[in-house]
Amino acid sequence: KKQTQLREVAGVLLQATSVDNWSQIQSFEAKSDDLLICTYPKSGTTWIQEIVDMIEQNGNVEKCQRAIIQHRHPFIEWARPPQPSGVEKAKMMPSPRILRTHLPTRLLPPSFWDNNCKFLYVARNAKDCMVSYYHFQRMNQVLPDPGTWEEYFEAFINGEVAWGSWFDHVKGWWELKDRYQILFLFYEDIKRDPKHEIQKVMQFMGKHLDEAVLDTIVLETSFEKMKENPMTNRSTVPKSILDQSISPFMRKGTVGDWKNHFTVAQNERFDEIYRKKMEGSSINFCLDL
């Protein structure tokens, strides 16, 4: 059995180590030129980070690898002594900083809003996200055991997983997207037309890259390339944290894998819950991808 703990902050479960350092995280000082990558877990965080890095490095793969070795963009809520916390790592980074978070809007350190930072949000459809998170919790030794698929299904729809409810997370960021500098992207769109979505990210970052460079970025950030790349496939992370013999970090990278996991009854129930929970939100997810 894994020795892991989640604790609650304002109704949201987080890793206990983050909660222990909560005041330090909340008083984090954002800078106006920070770019914050925001996602619910398993929505394509690693993917969008690689896209952002490749844009930043003008499509130069070697430079991108070196940049990742120097500083993988810290999660601001990461706090695992004796390693430096995300907040400490961010303080040491040169500006403009690229940071990451899985926090829902209402738990974000307020200085991000006060400084009008840029936010890059990636949403993934809830069903695939649930499947991906289930396999991730099987292999991740610092997150709780997911239990059976049936048990996990219940936990996920009730938001009883790390970083809380998928529904609240996505709704919360979607609601703020026109009030702040938020580029709101969908995993499924990046999958369908990567070049188009990468172009949006490039414009959002204020960069201009020519067609050939964009094509290189599309190629280098494909699932196949990232699965082989030791900087992105997490093969450098010790087995005591990520046990890839249970399930690889770069697992499938597809849209619609939920169909291999959901029973017909679970799917009907999920669609009903989805409609209730997302009622009143203008966000438009296709439930039958």
- Please list the active-site residues: 102
Interacting positions 132-151 with ligand A3P (CB under 6 A): 132, 135
Give the CA distances from residue 83 to residues 26, 135, 161, 255, in Å, rounded to whole numbers and listed in that order: 19, 26, 24, 35
Contact call for residues 57 and 202 (beta carbons, < 8 A): no
Binding mask 105-134 for ligand A3P (x = CB under 6 A): -----------------------x---x--
Report the half-sphere exposure of 113 (CA within 13 A, side-chain side): 14
Q: What is the C-alpha separation between 250 and 248, in angstroms, rounded?
A: 5
Interacting positions 170-229 with ligand A3P (CB under 6 A): 221-223, 226
Interacting positions 36-75 with ligand A3P (CB under 6 A): 39, 41-47
**Binding of ligand A3P at residue 100 (CB under 6 A)?**
no
Nearer to ligand A3P among residue 38 and residue 87 (C-beta): 38
Min. distance of Cβ 244 from ligand A3P in angstroms?
Answer: 12
Give the CA distances from residue 286 to residues 107, 157, 214, in Å, rounded to whole numbers and listed in that order: 28, 17, 28
Min. distance of Cβ 237 from ligand A3P in angstroms?
Answer: 12
- Phi first, then psi: what are they for 121, rounded to 5°? -100, 135
Tell me the site size for ligand A3P, rule CB under 6 A.
20
Q: What is the C-alpha separation between 132 and 78, in angstroms, rounded?
A: 21
Contact call for residues 142 and 242 (beta carbons, < 8 A): no
Min. distance of Cβ 32 from ligand A3P in angstroms?
Answer: 26
Min. distance of Cβ 193 from ligand A3P in angstroms?
Answer: 13
Min. distance of Cβ 227 from ligand A3P in angstroms?
Answer: 8
Q: Which two tokens stand for residue 254?
A: 């597809």
Cα three-residue angle 6-89-107, rounded to 5 degrees: 45
User: Residue 234, Cα to own-chain centre: how many angstroms?
Assistant: 15
Nearer to ligand A3P among residue 165 and residue 221 (C-beta): 221
Binding mask 244-273 for ligand A3P (x = CB under 6 A): ------xxxx---x----------------
Q: What is the C-alpha separation between 162 and 5, in angstroms, rounded?
A: 10
Task: Give the binding site for ligand A3P (CB under 6 A).
Answer: 39, 41-47, 128, 132, 135, 221-223, 226, 250-253, 257
